[in-house]
Structure 1
């Protein structure tokens, strides 16, 4: 019996492209990070922001990602890194909130999203765990909530990209009320929230505003006004006695005689 011969041709190799990139991929057995094409091929993020997002996603939990730490690690500098972080916040890849520890120290908590929710929805921002020095936010009164809601709803008049849903307004009202409770006029709050917005489309306005309301909240005014500084000491031009006055001149005893006209003196 004749032995059967197998003449099946070997599988065809993929054609080599005539131009453009050619990939030679090897499997990573360890030390790798999965990064989505929605980030690496993002058409609205700068190359700096894309690279920075990939770097942050590769870091272990608890790693420092402050602007200063990143500027020490990369050659771009603090200005470009800060701008890239704002881009990532605007597109939902990053969220930063400030928290006061029981010791009084204020820290910034950063959350990285490797696959943000759909562009039509705002990414959830996990609230920091309440502490003795930072209890859970108090629900504002109906009047305060109404004033905060009107301020937030009116932001789209300043920039159409800051269009908020009714749910976003309810969630942001307590943080907005904190500004109004500190005596800051609504016009000043709106001006702060809308100043220096990124030029790229803002897909998550609620996340951007939540960051600004927390990060830029001014401290409360002192409970009592600072005492006025006393006037400086002056030497009387008539008797050379020391007295306090904002400007040089005559002391109180010499002022009447110095102010008399020559006609009266005669």
Structure 2
């Protein structure tokens, strides 16, 4: 049995297009045909949720409408204890995947509804999505007589008076809460905004064009999947030229475009356009920009060194002449002579 499994795994790996990554996980994707649940990467890769919370969220999302998702109900089917499940539910509630709403039924009873939203960010555009309209209990259907049998007599409390007899208005009481207005949910196939255009250099010089074309043609040496056609290389040249114009080293551009490539890579030109557009570095600072932003310091005048004309001793003075000792000696000599 082990040999058969290893053989099947080896065959599946051999059928993957492109070279296998040197490190990291290798995905063998087999499409599901039944019993599957679509889970967004915003949940599966959420940086602020624990793995327990993500697993509990996936389980809740896979359950049908009306299934019990309380702490005890989940603990009956999960190996985690009630404390870990309760903590995971609080995590999901903090980030918006889980909501607990208090609702009043037509009979006056207050219940708590548990609502799970698979895309919490969609609620930010329509805040009223979080309001769940009350679901009144459906009235019991009237009994239908069997064929050939007389209709059952209704009790006086349920009998409907004839139209000609006026009926008293119902007693006044607390009005039932009106159902919240429904908000149209955006269609899942709504048109997405167009992607940002490919960056272009401010001055498209022939030197930039030649350097960008050579860099794109050389990408296949590092990643064979990035073998581009002549038309695709011509379309991507302005984007690489914009990077070069911003003083980006060619090795940095090559590393950015060839690292962590998906397998299989079906559209290399689209991938390069996406990275050139969304990972564009900022322009270099303007010349002498540091003089404008750095705090100014008071400059201190430095007195230069001078050589004494009498004793050749070094001393600081703005003008050449004699040092202090020679000046004092000459002053004492003049005074004694006088």
Taking structure 1 as the reference length, the TM-score comes to: 0.42
How does the TM-score come out when normalised to structure 2?
0.34
